[in-house]
Amino acid sequence: MGNKGFSALWPIFCLAFFVTLRLSRGDLSYSIPEEMKRESVIGNVAKDLGVDLRTLASRQARVDFEGSRKRYCDIKMNTGDLITLERIDRESLCGKKPSCVLKVDLVLENPLELHRVSLHIQDVNDNSPKFKKSLIEMEIRESAEKGNRFSIEEAHDADIGQNAVQRYTLEKNDNFILSVTSNKVELVLENKLDREKQKEMNLLLTALDGGSPQRSGTVVIHVTVLDANDNAPVFSQAIYKASLPENSPPDTIVITVSATDADEGLNGDVTYDFGHVSDDDLNLFTIDPKSGEIRVTGVIDFEESSSFEMRVEAKDGLGLTSYCKVIIDVTDINDNAPVIYLKSLNNPIPENVSPGTEVGIINVQDRDSDNNRQVRCSIQQNVPFKLVPSIKNYYSLVTTGQLDRELVSDYNITISATDEGSPPLSSSKTVQLSVADINDNPPVFEEQSYSAYVSENNKPGSTLCSVTARDPDWRQNGTVIYSLLPGEVNGAPVSSYLSVNGDTGVIHAVRSFDYEQFRSFKVQVMARDNGSPPLSSNVTVSVFISDVNDNSPQILYPAPEGNSFMTELVPKAAHGGSLVSKVIAVDSDSGQNAWLSYHIVKSTDPGLFTIGVHSGEIRTQRDISESDSMKQNLIVSVKDNGQPSLSATCSMYLLISDNLAEVPELKDISYDDKNSKLTSYLIIALVSVSTFFLTFIIIILGVRFCRRRKPRLLFDGAVAIPSAYLPPNYADVDGTGTLRSTYNYDAYLTTGSRTSDFKFVHITVTCANIAAFPF
């Protein structure tokens, strides 16, 4: 407070203290502070010189300045005071001189008096310390060592003495302290600089004077820290991890490493390169030395290598290096299709394996990983096989149903494998599987039964028919061999009738057949395959023998020409149309071959008799007249209807007479002495019996016939026709008193040439059986 109050009272104090009259011989001396206001009183010269004011005025007191100096002061006449006219600046008048005296001449006239007035100008702290510039630029390399000194130009203060610069202060900072020695101002580096921490700083330096009040001046020292290569590059990460899909095309950017170097310029210029890389990986990646981009240059195959580890070096311009690690994990891409391996296969498989039999083993592999290697296997639907998953990627190929080689003998089983990648890849493999034969099919005849038709009298060895049996089995299991099953036909072994070609199934006749002996028979033919054990089946072959016209008609009545003694009596009174006799013939053939027709080939009197074409009945064509010859001779031909037809002829002797007495003449006509008596008797007996029998039948039929309509007598003579002579199958006598052939019997007849010469005729009639005709 005292200090402040002192400052405020400064001008008054100055006046009181410095403006003191210095009396010397004629000289005046005043001491005044600089920078006084205009017209400030320096001193009263009138008083100090001892001159009254009137004298002062009358003597024209005045002040003179040496040279062309400014008029700093003047005399105020009415008071006799010396006052300032100009601002008096000590610094401009005297500079740094420690004492500053302004000399003024005071002149009085009448008489001239010269007084020297010395004005001692006292310094006043009116100047602040001043730096030359307000900003000092400094550049200090960061490598500067502790203790290094950096001089600063000092501050200047126009004042002198205590009012000049007395001390400096430096704003507090981390690096520098101030050292001031004998007007040398220096910054001293106390802590090392780090450009990377602080690139520049402003330090405020203040200079203080010792005046009162104290004045100060400041300067800003701008320190720029210059770089030194004191930093190695630093990677942003110690370990870089990247994930790279396999098969990434060349030039794919995998990752960008980045290292920063805190240094500047060349010192901070980072280039990248791979550290040690194995030869395998060398060509897979490149690194851009400038940008640090790691790119793909080769083929990235997950299956070859699923990860890469590399060291990357960063180097600055002056060779400081650092390293980082780059780990590239390759991610799997589904680029491998599953591969199907057939590990084992039972081929061929027998067709009788039971369902569920393991046929083969399949292994599926996929080189990808995870889902991309999850494989599903399947086979097509329409085969009787399935895949049964087994351990790991193994599958069993198993039958699901019964196999039948005869239906499907080969399977192409397509196995498909699909992985679960996205998109999924698949592959397929076709397994060819054959089914081996088992003799499970017997031969089967194409027909239920076979019939063979053969004409009798066939040549031995002729082909009758052929049987065919099929066996779908394979090779010998399907090879069919035919054979006849043992059996008998008419008491003889079948093999004496037929033979069968074992390979072809063609059936041959062994002998010639006779229709008249038997008309059909059956044999069993077996078809057997060559399997082991063999399978067989049987079929019936019916052989039907057909008739051939191989038998000539046999004339039973009358006996053949030359051997007959038969003579028919024709009553003289016979009218036209009367039945006089009947030619009876048989044919042991059948059908057309036994259909007989009768014709008169020659006759004594052609107009007199006719013969029924099919009945063989001989009738008169007109009434007998007296003129007709008594002995009539007819030659009758009997033909069958076969192709060609066969025929037989006979002669019939007719005697037109009412009287048997005339019979002796017969001998002339027909009888030959050579005929044995026995034969004659037999014939007579036969004729008699037959006539009797026929008559009896006729009577019975006649009675039945007469009941219905009035009977007409067809012939009035006792014409005896032996009924036994009726043709076997062809007895269609038109209801006129002959038999329907409803009987079956054997007849032994003589044909007359020798007594013991009988001919056997077997007559078969369809209905009943009469065991034997009493003969």
Ligand X SMILES: *[C@@H]1O[C@H](CO)[C@@H](O)[C@H](O)[C@H]1NC(C)=O
Q: Which is nearer to ligand X, 439 or 567 (CB)?
A: 439
Q: What values do phi and psi take at 169, rounded to 5? A: -130, 145
In whole angstroms, how close is the CB of 439 to ligand X at the nearest point? 4
Q: Which stretch binds ligand X (CB under 6 A): 10-18, 112-120, 475-483, 694-702?
A: 475-483
209-232 burial, b if ≥16 CB within 10 A, otherwise e? Answer: bbbeeebbbbbebebebebbbebb
In whole angstroms, how close is the CB of 553 to ligand X at the nearest point? 44
In whole angstroms, how close is the CB of 348 to ligand X at the nearest point? 9
Q: Which is nearer to ligand X, 336 or 477 (CB)?
A: 477
Q: Is 166 in the site for ligand X (CB under 6 A)?
A: no
In whole angstroms, how close is the CB of 346 to ligand X at the nearest point? 14
Q: Which is nearer to ligand X, 478 or 737 (CB)?
A: 478
Cβ-contact 483, 507 below 8 angstroms? no
Three-state SS at 732: coil
Q: Which is nearer to ligand X, 170 or 349 (CB)?
A: 349
* Cis? peptide before 644, omega within 30° of 0: yes
Binder of ligand X out of 396, 537, 610, 680 (CB under 6 A): 537
In whole angstroms, how close is the CB of 483 to ligand X at the nearest point? 10
In whole angstroms, how close is the CB of 648 to ligand X at the nearest point? 48
The rounded distance, in Å, linking the Cα atoms of 727 and 765 is: 10
281: closest CA among 249, 328, 320? 328
Q: Which stretch binds ligand X (CB under 6 A): 458-466, 529-537, 591-599, 611-619?
A: 529-537
Three-state SS at 392: coil
Binder of ligand X out of 313, 437, 547, 640 (CB under 6 A): 437
Cβ-contact 271, 290 below 8 angstroms? yes
Q: Which residue has the tokens 């329409």?
A: 382
Q: Which residue is nearest to ligand X (CB)?
A: 437
In whole angstroms, how close is the CB of 448 to ligand X at the nearest point? 13
Q: Which stretch binds ligand X (CB under 6 A): 26-34, 234-242, 468-476, 588-596?
A: 468-476
Q: Which of residues 284-343 bind ligand X (CB under 6 A)?
A: none
Q: In what order do the strands lie in the sheet with 358-365?
A: 339-345, 358-365, 394-399, 385-389
Q: Which whole-number Å values give the CA distances from 538 to 439, 442, 449, 487, in the listed order?
A: 18, 10, 9, 13
In whole angstroms, how close is the CB of 344 to ligand X at the nearest point? 20
- Which segments within 36-194 are labelled E, that is strand? 41-44, 62-65, 73-76, 81-84, 100-108, 113-122, 135-141, 149-152, 165-170, 176-181, 184-189
| Residue 391 token pair | 């351990």
Q: Is 488 in the site for ligand X (CB under 6 A)?
A: no
In whole angstroms, how close is the CB of 373 to ligand X at the nearest point? 30
Binder of ligand X out of 20, 476, 621, 641 (CB under 6 A): 476
Q: Which is nearer to ligand X, 283 or 430 (CB)?
A: 430
Q: Under rule CB under 6 A, how many of the chain's residues touch ligand X?
A: 17
Q: Which stretch binds ligand X (CB under 6 A): 206-214, 282-290, 432-440, 739-747?
A: 432-440
Cβ-contact 574, 623 below 8 angstroms? yes
In whole angstroms, how close is the CB of 539 to ligand X at the nearest point? 9
Q: Is 441 in the site for ligand X (CB under 6 A)?
A: no
- Torsion sign, CA atoms 435, 436, 441, 447: positive
Cβ-contact 565, 742 below 8 angstroms? no
Q: Which whole-number Å values give the CA distances from 593 to 240, 519, 550, 582, in the listed order?
A: 120, 15, 8, 21
Q: Is 475 in the site for ligand X (CB under 6 A)?
A: yes
Q: Which of residues 402-421 bind ligand X (CB under 6 A)?
A: 410, 412
Give the chain's length.
775
User: Mask 507-526, x = binds ligand X (CB under 6 A)?
Assistant: -------------------x
412: closest CA among 431, 428, 396, 391? 431
Binder of ligand X out of 9, 485, 492, 700 (CB under 6 A): 485
Q: Is 446 in the site for ligand X (CB under 6 A)?
A: no
In whole angstroms, how close is the CB of 375 to ligand X at the nearest point? 24
Work out the burial of residue 239: count CB atoms within 10 Å of its CB; fewer than 13 is exposed, 13-18 middle, 19 or more buried.
exposed
Q: Which is nearer to ligand X, 128 or 441 (CB)?
A: 441
| Residue 414 token pair | 């397509």
Q: Which is nearer to ligand X, 135 or 407 (CB)?
A: 407
DSSP collapsed to 3 states, 215-238: CEEEEEEEEEEECCCCCCCEECCC
Q: Is 87 in the site for ligand X (CB under 6 A)?
A: no
Q: Which is nearer to ligand X, 521 or 653 (CB)?
A: 521
Binder of ligand X out of 43, 443, 531, 616 (CB under 6 A): 531
In whole angstroms, how close is the CB of 473 to ligand X at the nearest point? 7
Q: Which is nearer to ligand X, 523 or 526 (CB)?
A: 526
Q: Is 474 in the site for ligand X (CB under 6 A)?
A: yes
Q: Which is nearer to ligand X, 505 or 531 (CB)?
A: 531
115: closest CA among 22, 18, 217? 22
Alpha helix locations (H) across 1-156?
Answer: 2-8, 10-18, 45-49, 53-58, 90-94
Binder of ligand X out of 31, 175, 218, 477 (CB under 6 A): 477
Q: Which is nearer to ligand X, 294 or 525 (CB)?
A: 525
First to last CA, the chain: 204
| Residue 159 token pair | 């004042």
DSSP collapsed to 3 states, 311-379: EEEEECCCCCEEEEEEEEEEECCCCCCCEEEEEEECCCEECCCCCCCEEEEEEEECCCCHHHHCEEEEE
Q: Which is nearer to ligand X, 61 or 435 (CB)?
A: 435
- Torsion sign, CA atoms 232, 234, 235, 238: positive
In whole angstroms, how close is the CB of 424 to ligand X at the nearest point? 26
Q: Which is nearer to ligand X, 411 or 565 (CB)?
A: 411
Q: Which is nearer to ligand X, 46 or 526 (CB)?
A: 526
| Contact set with ligand X (CB under 6 A) | 410, 412, 432, 436-439, 474-477, 485, 526, 531, 536-538
